[in-house]
Amino acid sequence: EGSLTDGEFQIMKGHVRHGSDIIRGYPWLNDCLDVVLHHHEKFDGTGYMAGLKGMEIPINARIFAVADVFDALTSVRPYKGALSYDETMDIMKKGRGSHFDPDIIDRLFMIGEDLYREICEADEGRLRKILRENIRPLFNDDQIL
């Protein structure tokens, strides 16, 4: 466990470019391109790839940035253990207005705990149902694997 080295961090940042290259090959995923390109931008402009700030960052990327960090904090990673919900929310709150769009953080605090508990308590069948109910409307039947 521990922080990534500078070299490891540079390699990790490459996933944005690799992901955008993949997305561009599938026209039906064009709506995802903003998320892939800008989910590591920070609300205060200190993020990467383009150094966007505040409302310059597409809304879907601002939402995904919150979800991505929440997932990273609550998940076991090779370099760290999983944090509890409360520890995660404390960190998210500290990033309000700097790392994250404050409005999105406020909304996370409104719905986060109930949604987190529901997902944590769901079995695989329930998780699949939640995913199908929320994802299927976004795609044509021939696009779903």
Q: In whole angstroms, give the CA distance from residue 17 to residue 2.
A: 25
**Residue 1: per-residue pLDDT:** 55
Burial class (CB in 10 A: 0-12, 13-18, 19+), 101: buried
**Residue 143: per-residue pLDDT:** 44
Rg over CA atoms, the chain: 16
State residue 3 phi and psi, 5-degree precision.
-70, 160
Each residue of 56-79: pLDDT tens digit? 999 999 999 999 999 999 999 888
> Is residue 88 a part of any domain in this protein?
yes
Domain assignment of residue 86, given as a range: 6-143
> Is residue 1 a part of any domain in this protein?
no
> Is residue 37 a part of any domain in this protein?
yes
List the chain residues with pLDDT less than 50: 143-145
Q: In whole angstroms, give the CA distance from residue 24 to residue 36.
A: 10
Q: In whole angstroms, give the CA distance from residue 50 to residue 30.
A: 18
**Residue 135: per-residue pLDDT:** 64
What is the total count of domains within the chain? 1
> Is residue 41 a part of any domain in this protein?
yes
**Residue 128: per-residue pLDDT:** 87
**Which CATH number characterizes residue 98's domain?**
1.10.3210.10
Predicted TM-score (pTM) of the model is: 0.80
